[in-house]
Amino acid sequence: MKRVFDFMKIRVVMLIISAAVIVGGIAGTVTQDGFNLGIDFQAGLSLTVGISGNVSEENVRSAVAGIESAQVQRLGPVGSGQFVIRVRDDGTPAFETVMADRLLEELASAFPTSTVEELETTYVGPRFSGDLTQQALFLTIFALVLILAYLWFRFRMAYAFSSITALLHDVIVIIGVIGTLQLEVTTATIAAVLTIIGYSLNDTIVIFDRIRENESLLRDNDFRTIVNTSVTQSLSRTIITSVTTLLAVGAIYVFSTGSIQTFAFTLIIGVLVGTYSSVFIASPVLLAWHTRAIAYHRKRDAEKYHRGAVAREAAAQTASGGGEAPAAPGQTAVSRQAVDAEAARREVAKQRSRKKKNRR
């Protein structure tokens, strides 16, 4: 058998690193006044325009720099001349009409030799953005609950709890990165997070399935050895899957722009974090659950044995003294009679043994 790496030896260090990353992400998000919500989750206007001539994305961004919260994204290849401009609703009366006219005027004055054409205008109201936010949170939580139920049915509660812990770790880390880097949060971001949950879960299930298989194949080994062996056996598959996925997503990130590029960047972070959590979060949590369960059962068995020993000793003393021993806590009348009978039998055997010695 090939060499088995002791991944669990450094589990405490990796958990400390994860905690530091999570705390850093929360701090980075809070210090920047929360997330950079797009108009999908915050009311605003999205204006798609076509500009003739050699106009770049940076030129358009400079033209609308005087409008607060304006964001520019190029559509299509370089030189297509189509751009999407998003502006958050600041509460101005008739914001949709006023802001659309202002954007067109700013672009016309910035590019006097070009033709500025309004292609599409989309406005998202406060109520719709609020409903969308609630639906996104509900769908994410609902997906996690379904995953927990499936894993509980497919494996055991220990495996389900460990998997959900790893998924929550991944989601919190990714959200922290998004908030710290102030990436725009859109429906594409939610799609990326859900995709990462599925990817990370698949990687975790592969390792857990190998652990469950090795529990019977390596029953003579302790559970820590079983976990290290299973992770080592799954390591090549994990690395190959992660690298090939990163190559595909990396190509999307390099050759795309705007929200698609943000989507790809989120997936890159998610693939790295998901691979890490399958080895250094889910597996150590499963090991800790198993260790604690063994300690609990041993303690319970020891207490049960102690109660039985006390009951037997009390019964023996009662039989030798001619009295009646009180029932032990939780002891029924039938079990008490059985204990008394066993004690009497032992006492008779002792007396017979003494008589034989005296005869000799």
More confident residue, 143 or 132: 143
Q: How far is 207 from 198, CA to CA, in rounded Å?
A: 15
* 116-143 mean pLDDT: 77
**CATH among 2.30.40.10, 3.20.20.140, 3.40.50.2300, 3.30.70.100 for 44-124:** 3.30.70.100
CATH class (in words) of the domain with range 7-36+129-296: mainly alpha
Indicate if the pLDDT at residue 229 is higher than 50: yes
Q: How far is 138 from 167, CA to CA, in rounded Å?
A: 16
* 232-251 mean pLDDT: 93
Indicate if the pLDDT at residue 17 is higher than 60: yes
Q: How far is 176 from 30, CA to CA, in rounded Å?
A: 10
Q: Name which of 107, 96, 105 is nearest 44 in CA terms.
A: 96
Q: How far is 54 from 25, CA to CA, in rounded Å?
A: 40
Q: How far is 274 from 242, CA to CA, in rounded Å?
A: 9
Indicate if the pLDDT at residue 121 is higher than 60: yes
Q: How far is 4 from 7, CA to CA, in rounded Å?
A: 9
Per-residue pLDDT tens over the stretch 153-207 = 877 888 889 998 999 999 999 999 999 998 888 888 888 888 898 888 888 999 9
Residues near 180 by beta carbon (within 8 Å), at least 6 away in sequence: 24, 25, 28, 29, 32
What tokens were used for 336? 């008490």
Indicate if the pLDDT at residue 325 is higher than 50: no
If pLDDT is split at 50, 70 and 90, which confidence band does 333 have? very low
pLDDT at 1: 52
Of all residues in the chain, what percent carry a pLDDT higher than 90?
A: 29
How far apart, in Å, are the Cα atoms of 181 and each of 18, 29, 87, 214, 324?
A: 18, 8, 20, 42, 77
Q: Name which of 214, 242, 238 is nearest 228 in CA terms.
A: 214
HEC secondary structure over 63-118:
HCCCCCCCEEEEECCCCCCEEEEEEECCCCCCHHHHHHHHHHHHHHHHCCCCCEEE
More confident residue, 138 or 24: 24
Within 10 angstroms of residue 36's Cβ, the number of other Cβ atoms is 18
Indicate if the pLDDT at residue 208 is higher than 70: yes
What tokens were used for 161? 């709890």
Sorted by where each begins, the domain ranges of the chain are 7-36+129-296, 44-124
Q: What is the largest CA-CA distance in the chain?
A: 130
Please list the alpha-helical segments (H only) found in the chain: 11-31, 57-63, 95-110, 126-154, 157-181, 187-217, 223-255, 258-277, 283-321, 333-359
Mean pLDDT of the chain: 82
How far apart, in Å, are the Cα atoms of 208 and each of 203, 215, 245, 271, 291?
A: 9, 11, 21, 18, 16
pLDDT at 148: 79
- pTM comes to 0.71
